[in-house]
């Protein structure tokens, strides 16, 4: 039986689209059953509806600093749709520790850096400032600490001498669209297990399933 997935977004939903497209394959072990945005003007809502995915706007600003009540409304929607897994895809709202713990081992996030390096905002600018030669993206299980948690999959890209934060971020985004669906496939298919703070793949998944490196050069 396919796992039922909710995607939480705040904006354009480019990773959401990648997940929806991947899940449309007959043998993909998950179905995208719901999209929730904390902003009613998020462009991703119409993209989800255009793909025949139920999409809801639950405006977080109406709840002010009352995150618990906002999350209770979100949880009610998740329960109504029988959700098994959550994918955060550009969801710009901090979640309480209680909500995160409720979904322990069942909520994924993607971050545009090779965590644990460069968590937080502007990771591409952080990478350029540090002078690293390789950057990338990370899919990880969500824990109460921001941009942390057991790593499921990473994708690497080269950092070019003439990169700007925008050009590097765009190249990283392309690898995000590859690794997020693959990470969801592993999790939904039962091919990963958590051992404390470490995520390990089953023997059949293989090392190629946890690192995607389309290029370490520049100009692609």
The catalytic residues are 111
Cα gap 58→8, rounded to integer Å: 10
Cα-based torsion angle of the residue sequence 67, 137, 106, 191 in order, rounded to the nearest 10 degrees: 180
List the helix and strand counts (H, then E) for the chain.
Answer: 6, 10
The values of phi and psi at residue 185, to 5°, are -60, -45
**57 DSSP β-pair partners:** 37
- 3-class SS of residue 199: strand
Q: What is the largest CA-CA distance in the chain?
A: 50
φ, ψ of residue 69 in degrees (nearest 5): -70, -40
Token pair for residue 21?
Answer: 């497209």
């Amino acid at each position: 039986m396919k796992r039922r997935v909710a995607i939480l977004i705040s904006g354009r939903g480019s990773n959401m689209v990648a997940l929806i497209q991947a899940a449309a394959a007959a043998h993909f072990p998950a179905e995208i059953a719901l999209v929730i945005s904390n902003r009613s003007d998020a462009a991703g809502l119409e993209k989800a509806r255009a793909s025949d995915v139920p999409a809801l706007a639950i405006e977080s600003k109406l709840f002010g600093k009352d995150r618990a009540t906002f999350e209770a409304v979100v949880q009610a929607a998740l329960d109504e749709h029988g959700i098994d897994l959550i994918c955060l895809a550009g969801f710009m709202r901090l979640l309480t520790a209680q909500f995160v713990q409720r979904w322990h081992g069942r909520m994924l996030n993607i971050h545009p850096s090779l965590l644990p390096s460069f968590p937080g905002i502007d990771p591409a600018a952080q990478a350029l400032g540090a002078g690293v030669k390789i950057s990338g993206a990370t899919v990880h299980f969500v824990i109460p600490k921001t941009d942390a948690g057991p790593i499921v999959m990473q994708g690497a890209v080269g950092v070019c001498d003439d990169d700007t934060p925008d050009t590097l971020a765009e190249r990283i985004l392309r690898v995000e669209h590859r690794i997020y669906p693959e990470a969801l496939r592993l999790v939904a298919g039962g091919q990963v297990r958590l051992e404390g703070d470490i995520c390990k793949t089953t023997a059949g998944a293989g090392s190629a399933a946890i690192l995607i490196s389309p290029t370490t050069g520049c100009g692609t």
